[in-house]
Amino acid sequence: MGLNVSNQQIADELSLHKDDVHQMTSELRQAVADKRPEVQLSGTVEFDEVYVTAGHKGQPEQVKKRAQGTQT
C-alpha cells in the first residue's frame, strides 16, 4: 500500500468498513504527529505580513470601526 491512498481505497483493499479505516488512519496520523519533535527556529527568521481581520488589507480605519461597533 502506498502513502497516497485514500481511506476508501484502504477499506476496499483490506475488506474493512470505511469508518473503521478512518478511525485507524486518524489514530496513526495523530501518533506520528505526537512523536514529531518540536521545531526550534534559530538565526534570522523571515515571515510574511499577517492580517488578523480578513478583508481589510491596508484599511486599518475599517478594522477600528468594526471593533468599536462590536464592543458591549
Element (H, E) at 64: helix 60-70
**pTM exceeds cut of 0.75:** no
How many other C-beta atoms are found inside a 10 Å radius of the C-beta of residue 60? 10
pLDDT at 45: 82
Nearest-angstrom CA–CA distance, 20 and 25: 9
Question: Residue ranges per domain, the chain?
Answer: 1-35
* pLDDT at res. 65: 77
**Per-residue pLDDT for the chain (72 aa), expressed as one digit of tens each?**
566 889 999 999 999 999 999 999 999 989 988 999 988 888 998 888 776 666 666 777 777 777 777 665
At 41 the pLDDT is 85
